[in-house]
Amino acid sequence: MQQVYVEGKIVINKQIEKNIYMISVEGKFEAKPGQFYMIRAWDKEPFLSRPISVYDLDDEKISFVYEVRGKGTEILSKKNCGDAIKLMGPCGNGFDVDKIKGKIAVVTGGIGIAPMLYTIKSIKDSKIDIFAGFREKSYITNEMKKYADNVYITTDNGSEGYKGNVAEIFNPIEYNAVLCCGPTVMMKKVSNMCLNSGTACLISMEEKMACGVGACLGCACNTSDGKKRVCKDGPVFWGREVILSA
Ligand SMILES: Cc1cc2nc3c(=O)[nH]c(=O)nc-3n(C[C@H](O)[C@H](O)[C@H](O)COP(=O)(O)OP(=O)(O)OC[C@H]3O[C@@H](n4cnc5c(N)ncnc54)[C@H](O)[C@@H]3O)c2cc1C
Ligand code: FES
């Protein structure tokens, strides 16, 4: 893992939905699906860099999809093409895609869909169904359709797809493995459903991060094997391993 920040030139930074942006940075970067980069688009303030998952990658650029939540992502959203940002990575373990085979369900909530495009592009010889939940409007699902067998959308208000949440429309028993990323309450529900049906479940965790490289313990989560660092031991864990407090 590279532990230094490199500077990269922004070639795309566009709004794709309300508060949701896609940014691409020029250069040849590396990453496994599910890994993330620590990003800073500012000098001193805010003090900490922000972890963002790899959305897509090719020989010329790396791309991220992010939701504007607070100060850091707000500054990022105001950057223009040609501006430089700093990136460190790839960080974390990512999904071991070579071992993911058979009939796969990808279950996401909101911006939890961001790491899944690169992930499903990298899974070979499998059937993949996507269950993606949003508040009001979907994003990225059209790109996902190119690599998935089925894409099922839910929204909280029913304005698109099924009215309700993803846990109501997917049955883990139909799948060999489930990959899940989203709000903790949703991941806990999906993980428990998988436990009850004996289906393997991998979840990608979100915790606030400081160093991003395993040195500060600021991102620790509780597991059946004691505390683990989301930035270094994760962000991908077995659902049965993590104790989610939601
Ligand atoms: C491994 C990992 C991968 C991630 N990938 C993505 C991604 O691909 N796209 C994306 O939009 N976001 C992603 N996130 C979340 C992203 O890092 C936070 O939204 C971001 O750090 C918020 O920074 P801010 O300065 O805009 O907000 P802040 O001002 O720091 O916080 C604003 C709000 O966001 C919440 N928040 C802050 N950090 C996190 C966090 N790490 N997780 C959950 N909530 C947080 C705060 O509690 C607060 O309510 C990821 C987080 C992790 C740990
Ligand atoms: S953020 Fe420092 S150990 Fe994870």
CATH of residue 51's domain is: 2.40.30.10
Minimum CA distance residue for ligand 1 atom 28: 70
Of the candidates 98, 118, 114, 113, the one whose C-alpha atom is nearest the C-alpha of residue 29 is 118
Instruction: Answer yes or no: are the C-beta atoms of 83 and 10 closer than 8 Å.
Output: yes
Peptide bond connecting 183 to the previous residue in cis, omega within 30 degrees of 0: no
Distance 236 CA to ligand 2 centre (A): 15
Same domain, 122 and 214: yes
Instruction: Answer yes or no: are the C-beta atoms of 231 and 91 closer than 8 Å.
Output: yes
Same domain, 106 and 222: yes
- Is 244 inside a domain boundary? no
CATH number of the domain enclosing 216 = 3.40.50.80
> What is the β-pairing status of strands 20-26 and 50-53?
unpaired
pTM: 0.96
Instruction: Answer yes or no: are the C-beta atoms of 3 and 90 closer than 8 Å.
Output: no
Task: Find the length of the chain.
Answer: 246
Q: Tens digit of pLDDT per residue, the chain (246 long)?
A: 447 999 999 999 999 999 999 999 999 999 999 999 999 999 999 999 999 999 999 999 999 999 999 999 999 999 999 999 999 999 999 999 998 999 999 999 999 999 999 999 999 999 999 999 999 999 999 999 999 999 999 999 999 999 999 999 999 999 999 999 999 999 999 999 999 999 999 999 999 999 999 999 999 999 999 999 999 999 999 999 999 986
Minimum CA distance residue for ligand 1 atom 35: 69
Please state the atom number of ligand 2 nearest to the C-alpha of residue 229.
4
Sequence-distant (≥ 6) Cβ neighbours of residue 17 within 8 angstroms = 137, 139
Domain assignment of residue 104, given as a range: 97-238
